Amino acid sequence: MRRVVLLGGGYVTLHAYHQLARRLSGQLRRDEVEIVIVSADASHSFHGFTGEVVAGVLPFERTRTPITEACPRARFEHARVLSVDPGRRSVAFERVDGSTASVTYDQLVVGTGGREPVHGVPGLAEHGFLLRGPGEIETLAARVVSFAAGHGETVVVAGGGLAGVELAAAIADSGHARPQPLTVHLVHSGSELLGELRSAQPRLGTRAEAELARLGVRVRLGVRLERVTPSGAALSDGSFLPARTVLGTIGQRPVALPGLESGLRDGRGRLVTASDLSVLPGVWAAGDAARVLHVTTGEPVASNALWAMKAGAHAGANAARALHGRETRPFTYRGLGQAASFGLGRGIAELYGMPFTGRLAWLLRLTFFLRFMPSRRRAALVVHDLVRVSVRGADRSVQQQSSPRLGDPRLELLRSPRPFVHEQHPVLGGVHAPYDVGDLAVGQV
């Protein structure tokens, strides 16, 4: 039996799987081909609605789909990848029960994503909040929910890209319904927020700044997050912001897989792909783990969800073509745009170079995300939740039905200064940073 192995549980894997399942349908039915998914997270996280989850508009579970549900014709290994051996065409992994095993492959698709470069900011891993690891968004959302019962809180968000801007807005927006004030600082090392978007669409950059001002977000430009302590954030200009919650949206660095390292990666650690997304014979890569060049500009494409989806689907299609002995095709997708939300009915969007603001931009973003959610049932529930919140108005905490409540031991842990500790493993690295975290793109389409 021939076998295709997919590494990771993110957008690349799901969209590669659907291409493979469609193109290899007959062979799967006759047990001539097997699809194997290796992921340390048993569910796929749809990150498009991260802002809504953190703000309490949507429960975390709306964004989670079990991989066995999303990819029913695949064999699922709930495990961490240990290494890849391209010579033997095999992948070694460690299951969650501690047992180790390996699987051979005819075709391998790498969609292992990336992690925040926490080592560049002392204390961020120990005392701060992140987004890319399993459980991290839920942990942050629970912390924000806990603010409702406390006194005035201060939150520091580091990073002035779409993710940082949208999450700062979401957290500030959630504070408007609370009896105690919520102060949100947005810290960015650059001279302006949303630099890439602003260069192409100055109007959208200006609108984003106006929305942040409306929500009361305090923007600090030209300074970077230097250190995180249990009591706050130290900045590069020597100032210190007292805060129990510091969120790092400081970019990402691909997770290196032993066996796919020397000579295969660029200076930023990304697997270098050919025009058809191949890395080696029988090995394909997409998403945050890969350097994929734009067919028109020749520059690396952005690390966001849509590019991961489209490249993942293309890698899956080419893997199927290779199994059939057919010629593979170059990746020619040209992109769509990007968007961000600043609360219900308020947003910015750029679609095929055209700028949109306000309710229309928000609806465009919502439509896109609903279209690409892996579960139609959960997409329908998202619409139901958004309608309910818009009707009920201020009390958004009702949406966090599955989030920890006051008195829950998990929430009590969040009151400590170390909400998410990364312990180190000699091969796997951070216990909460397995080689399959997938691809993250808050607010990008």
User: What are the domain boundaries of the chain?
Assistant: 2-115+253-323
What pLDDT does residue 149 have?
A: 63
Mean pLDDT of 319-343: 96
What pLDDT does residue 393 have?
A: 63
What pLDDT does residue 80 have?
A: 95
Mean pLDDT of 138-160: 88
What pLDDT does residue 408 have?
A: 36
How does pLDDT run across 156-182, given as a tens digit for each residue?
A: 999 999 999 999 999 999 877 666 778
In this structure, the strands spanning 64-66 and 43-45 are antiparallel
Q: Specify the DSSP element, H or E, that contains 378.
A: helix 376-392
Of 118-132, 183-197, 299-313, 379-393, where does mean pLDDT reach its minimum?
A: 379-393
Chain centre to alpha carbon of residue 244: 23
Mean pLDDT of 387-399: 67
What pLDDT does residue 193 have?
A: 96
What pLDDT does residue 420 have?
A: 28
What pLDDT does residue 134 have?
A: 84
Close Cβ partners of 21 (under 8 Å, ≥ 6 residues apart): 28, 35, 71, 73, 74
Residue 409 scores a pLDDT above 50? no
**For the chain, percent of residues with pLDDT exceeding 70:** 87
Close Cβ partners of 379 (under 8 Å, ≥ 6 residues apart): 370, 373
Mean pLDDT of 31-55: 96
What pLDDT does residue 423 have?
A: 30
What pLDDT does residue 392 have?
A: 74
CA-angle at 107, arms to 295 and 5, nearest 5°: 110
Residue type at 84? V
Residue 333 scores a pLDDT above 70? yes
CATH node for 2-115+253-323: 3.50.50.60
Of 146-155, 276-285, 404-413, where does mean pLDDT reach its minimum?
A: 404-413
How does pLDDT run across 69-101, given as a tens digit for each residue?
A: 999 999 999 999 999 999 999 999 999 999 999
How does pLDDT run across 225-250, given as a tens digit for each residue?
A: 999 999 999 999 999 999 999 999 99
Q: Specify the DSSP element, H or E, that contains 95.
A: strand 90-95
Residue 40 scores a pLDDT above 50? yes
Close Cβ partners of 220 (under 8 Å, ≥ 6 residues apart): 185, 186, 187, 188, 235
What pLDDT does residue 440 have?
A: 37
DSSP 261-322: -TTTB-TTSPEE--TTSEEETTEEE-GGGEE-B-TTT-SBPP-SHHHHHHHHHHHHHHHHHH
Chain centre to alpha carbon of residue 271: 18
Residue 133's pLDDT band, with cuts at 50, 70 and 90, is confident
What pLDDT does residue 147 have?
A: 84
CA 11 – CA 286 distance, rounded (Å): 9
Residue 417's pLDDT band, with cuts at 50, 70 and 90, is very low
**For the chain, percent of residues with pLDDT exceeding 90:** 79
Report which DSSP code applies to 415: T
pTM of the model as a whole: 0.86
Residue 415 scores a pLDDT above 80? no
Residue 439 scores a pLDDT above 80? no
Residue 342 scores a pLDDT above 70? yes
Which tokens sit at 176? Answer: 């408007």
What pLDDT does residue 407 have?
A: 36
CA 277 – CA 291 distance, rounded (Å): 9
Residue 189 scores a pLDDT above 60? yes
Mean of all residue pLDDT scores within the chain: 88
